[in-house]
Amino acid sequence: MAATRPKHELDREFSELYRAHLRDVYSYAYYRVGNHHDAEDLTTQTFIQAYRHFERAQRESKGRPLRPWVIRIAHNLAANHFRDRSRKPQTNIDDTTVLSALHTTEDLVEGRDELKRILAGVQDLPGDRREALIMRFALGMDNREIARALGRSDGATKVLIHRAIKQLEEIVNEEAQT
């Protein structure tokens, strides 16, 4: 078994990980849960969990980036959040994207409607497809990082993202026609 490294060294390295990935974890959590309060809670829980297992993760990563590992923790906590919420139903605020000022530009209205359809369409995707698209487009993760975060092969991840995009296009087009 490897010798334990000094705590101050681990704390410094964890602080670097935290600063490097805080925005990604929060963004991921926000896209998953849809509100700032729960996203902040999930972000905090993610980094608490990551801190507990940081030394082991560093050893097992063999020098690979830890970003997929941190996102995986957020993914698992978000899944727990939804499982817990389904046991205790809450009232959902449907329209959290209301603009604070009125705009009369037709392009803005059309763009906002399209964005609303896309975001709603993402929520209608099956969980694994939704997760992959959030990681790819909201966080800018590459296929290899997504594969590691979801515990899939690179090829399976590429197919998953392709199918998710196709399904999202169908959902958005159907919504636009109604």
List the CATH code of the domain at 1-95: 1.10.1740.10
Distance of CA 153 to the CA centre of its chain: 19
The pLDDT confidence band at residue 109, using thresholds 50, 70 and 90, is low
List the CATH code of the domain at 97-178: 1.10.10.10
Extents of the domains making up the chain: 1-95, 97-178
DSSP 78-128: HHHHHHHHHHS-----S-----SS----HHHHHHHHHHHHHHHHHHHS-HH
The pLDDT confidence band at residue 33, using thresholds 50, 70 and 90, is confident
d(CA 154, CA 147): 5
For residue 163, give both structure tokens.
Answer: 């199918």
- Of 25-29, 69-73, 99-103, 107-111, the one with minimum mean pLDDT is 99-103
The pLDDT confidence band at residue 100, using thresholds 50, 70 and 90, is very low
Q: What is the pLDDT of residue 111?
A: 60
d(CA 40, CA 99): 22
